[in-house]
Chain A
Amino acid sequence: MRKLRVRKFFAFLSWLLLTVSVVAQEKPTAFVNAKIIPIVGQAIEKGVLLIQNGKIVAVGDVKSVKIPSDAQVFDVSGKVIMPGLVDTHSHIGEVSGADSSSPIQPDVRVLDSINVRASSIRRAQAGGITTVNVMPGSGHLNSGQTLYLKLRSSNPSKIEDLLIYNEDGSIAGGMKFANGTNSLRTGGGNFPGTRAKSAALMREQLIKAQEYREKIRKAGEDKSKLPPRDLMMEALVEVLEGKRIVHFHTHRHDDIITVLRLQKEFGFRVVLHHVSEAWKVADEIAKAKVPSSIIVVDSPGGKLETMDVSMTNGAALERVGALVGFHTDDYITDSRLFLRSAALAVRNGMSREKALYAMTMAGAIMLDLDKRVGSLEVGKDADFIILSGDPLSVYTKVLQTWVEGKKVFDRNDPKDYLIAVGGYGASNDRHIHLDCFEELGGEGDK
């Protein structure tokens, strides 16, 4: 009897704790009077964005959205709110991948290489980037597994603080492939010397992966018949299964077509990256229903395969109805000026609507994250930026960046301002705050 009572007491206690944890959710936060560009749906001239527990609770006109009495309210009149930007291809965090020992290294994870204290991550937040595909380089046919990050902390201590998890619990990321000249090496060895050899090496590995997958399928429930674990094959099977989207570095028109040919043969899901000559084969890209993540650079050339790169790529792909996103390729272009890429695409004929969609929703689709990010819709993550004005104006500043309901960048904060415009110490690894000393010394943050 007594035992039962104790048990009941503990049951009650755990119920109480559960209830309390449910009740003790964050107070809602409302951003009112801003122009809101939700990306999905019409722009709202005077709107309200209501967030709670890292999610969007309501978005709409000031007259129609009821703000709860306990909400913290920020008046952001005259400002513009849009979804956090999605950078589909970046090299922030001092990322590294494959190591030149062989041209195809799908076993390599960038997860195991990123320095979360790198200033480049802070610069991305200053540029309004909230979701980013961090990739290894293009010096290999396959330089490893990419990582999709949420820049949800201004003070991350480990990569785990920024990870995104898929529904099955796995870490979200893609796979980097490349063709064209970056992955050619004339020195011989096991690297390809020609484009045809590049394609042959890729096909060879993907066929091996098909066979590996077949062995697993045949083994069924009988674990004794499973092939020995092979990290390379496991990763490529994920590619074949569509669990890992291929992010394919490709520039020249014929290289783009080669990607489409490989995609057709093996059925993997793919995003074309850079696509310098997309304007030459836009119809073929559209027909294959393959999305493109484009880069905007200030002049043509730099290498032979980009001599015909054009700022009209965005417009050319929009015209044929292909899905277009953008990327910084940071360090190639500056994450802090990511919106400039969209603006220059508009300068060269892309519509404003599609350009802003490309910076957000299209990027989310390319990373399989469109259910969570990319637009300001109820139930999605509270990832958004507050801008001083028109997103496509050179004079507009990113004032604040919010990820999952937390502010990760504030231009009014002197430390963040330093990151945004540069200056002494701006490129150093993020400062480690020694709070006790700072309080005592006062000058500890210098």
Chain B
Amino acid sequence: MITIRRFLQFVLSKRSETILPIVLILCASQFAFAQIAVKGETIWTMAGENITNGVVLIGANGKIEAVGPASQIKIPSGYKVLSAKVVTPGLIDAHSVIGLSGYLNQPHDQMQVDLSAAIQPELRAIDAYNPEEKLIEWVRQYGVTTLHTGHAPAALVSGQTMIAKTFGKTIDEVTVVPTAMIAVTLGQAGLAPQGKSPGTRAKAAAMLRAELIKAQNYGKKGDEPRDLRQEIWKKVLNREIPLLVTAHKAHDIMTALRIAKEFNIRIVLDGASEAYLLIDEIKSAGVPVIIHPTMYRAGGETANLSMETASKLKAAGITVALQSGYETYVPKTRVVLFEAAIAAANGLSTRDALATITIDAAKILGIADRVGSIEVGKDGDLALYDGDPFEYTSHCVGTIVNGKIASDVVR
């Protein structure tokens, strides 16, 4: 593919005055998708060692072209040059509801759960996600470039989740994975309103198992009519799509592992306040964990949560990510940069804390080939800071999504 830059070089090489106006027009249009060079005093690539005084080049296709020490990388002319003290991969929020849930908290912007039925895996997040939601802009200004978002942990099976970039106008422009996981909630938060099923934990598990058994039988007769729900369950049974199982209490976590084993399906544990009680079980099941926000409120099912859970699980070799989570009130979204910072202050190394919101989050979401680290060929998603990204008084000074400057405010 011939880049605009190469084309310009070609045109310029002709040195003909007659084509100068054309060159100028092309130069002007070039800024719409300018190539970007980001210089960083420290670059956390999250793929190998940090680079001191490094450069990241992002091409016109929005992908990373080069990364390395400034001494070894020449910034081509025409590149827009940005500088920052610290550069990290664009941050990944491993579990959110924003885009479906809006900041006004009014009925019209709360699309994260439909309570008409307990089990609705056919509800697609892409049919509800609002890319222009204010909260998306908010987290983008703190370096978040990728969101795993969708239906909330507020019903037994509330619907699908999706993965989106945080910058872009239409759903098609921002979508990375249209159906990422199916949101399942065990424990109190997954029970139905009074008088409806599931009304108990045991009933919830029975309903989920019956549903999966029904799906196992779907299609066996051959000429059955299309069934949106069964089609999506098939993908779960085929291990194409994992269940995102929100479970805080230890016994709910065990239920999740038990059902995953029974049906040989993939699951990702979510929330998992008491995961530190079941480290061996989670590890031997090979299940990754998207831990509750570090600053999540302790109370009810989360009464026993700890700021040290991320560090304890990480130390045991379990893949962990952090999340902004689901808030029904204030703050309407949390910010993963802040949550990872508190984890970094409570046992995780800076690198491991950063991994929970970059490369390890990407691995759990199955998108590590595209995002999560600064490597040649990956998406041009970067976050820029004026100091230690986790320090309270540092600022995120820029966010780049797919090679475009998505935020240049100082947060």
A residues sitting closer than 8 Å to B (CB atoms) are 297-304, 306-307, 331-332, 334, 337, 340, 343-344, 346-347, 392-395, 397, 421-428
Contacts and interface: CB of A to CB of B under 8 A. Distances in A.
Given A301-B104, A301-B135, A392-B393, A423 B334 contact: no
Interface of B: 102-106, 134-135, 138-139, 274, 276-277, 295, 297-299, 303-308, 327, 329-335, 338, 341-342, 344-346, 390-395
Given A332-B330, A392-B392, A394-B345, A424 B274 contact: yes
B278 to A, nearest CB: 12
Contact of A300 (B138, B341, B345): B138
A346 B305 CA distance: 29
A122 to B, nearest CB: 12
Contacts of A331: 297, 299
B391 A423 contact: no
Name which of A299, A331, A421 has the most chain B CB atoms within 10 A of its CB: A299
Contacts, number: 105
A428 B346 CA distance: 21
A427 B113 CA distance: 29
Nearest to A296: B331
Given A299-B138, A423-B308, A394 B391 contact: yes
A354 to B, nearest CB: 14
B330 A302 contact: yes
Name which of A302, A397, A425 has the most chain B CB atoms within 10 A of its CB: A302
Q: Which 4 A-B pairs have the closest CB atoms?
A: A301-B103, A343-B392, A302-B330, A427-B303
B12 to A, nearest CB: 46
Contacts of B134: 300-301
Given A343-B392, A423-B276, A298 B304 contact: no
B62 to A, nearest CB: 28
B329 A302 contact: yes
A421 B308 contact: yes
A427 B391 contact: no
B301 to A, nearest CB: 11
15 contacts: A298-B335, A299-B138, A300-B134, A302-B105, A302-B330, A332-B330, A337-B295, A393-B391, A394-B344, A421-B307, A421-B308, A423-B304, A425-B304, A426-B303, A426-B306
A343 B393 contact: yes
Contacts of A303: 104-105, 329-330
Contacts of A307: 103-104
B134 to A, nearest CB: 7
Contacts of A334: 295, 297
A332 B332 CA distance: 11
Contacts of B138: 299-300
A422 B392 contact: no
B133 to A, nearest CB: 10
Nearest to B305: A422
B348 to A, nearest CB: 12
Contacts of B335: 298-299
B364 to A, nearest CB: 23
Contact of B331 (A297, A394, A425): A297
Contact of B306 (A297, A344, A395, A423): A423
Given A307-B103, A334-B297, A423-B306, A299 B392 contact: no
A299 B332 contact: yes
A426 B306 CA distance: 9
Name which of B139, B327, B331, B344 has the most chain A CB atoms within 10 A of its CB: B331
Contacts of B304: 422-427
B277 A424 contact: yes
Contacts of B135: 299, 301
Given A298-B331, A302-B332, 20 more contacts: A298-B334, A299-B138, A299-B331, A299-B333, A300-B138, A301-B104, A303-B104, A304-B105, A307-B103, A334-B295, A346-B392, A347-B392, A392-B393, A394-B341, A394-B345, A397-B345, A425-B304, A426-B306, A427-B299, A427-B304
Contacts of A332: 330
A358 to B, nearest CB: 15
A220 B6 CA distance: 96
B298 A422 contact: yes
Given A299-B331, A421-B308, A347 B297 contact: no
Contacts of A395: 344-345, 391
A331 to B, nearest CB: 6
Contacts of B102: 301
A423 B305 CA distance: 5
Name which of A301, A306, A426 has the most chain B CB atoms within 10 A of its CB: A301
B219 to A, nearest CB: 44
A85 B13 CA distance: 69
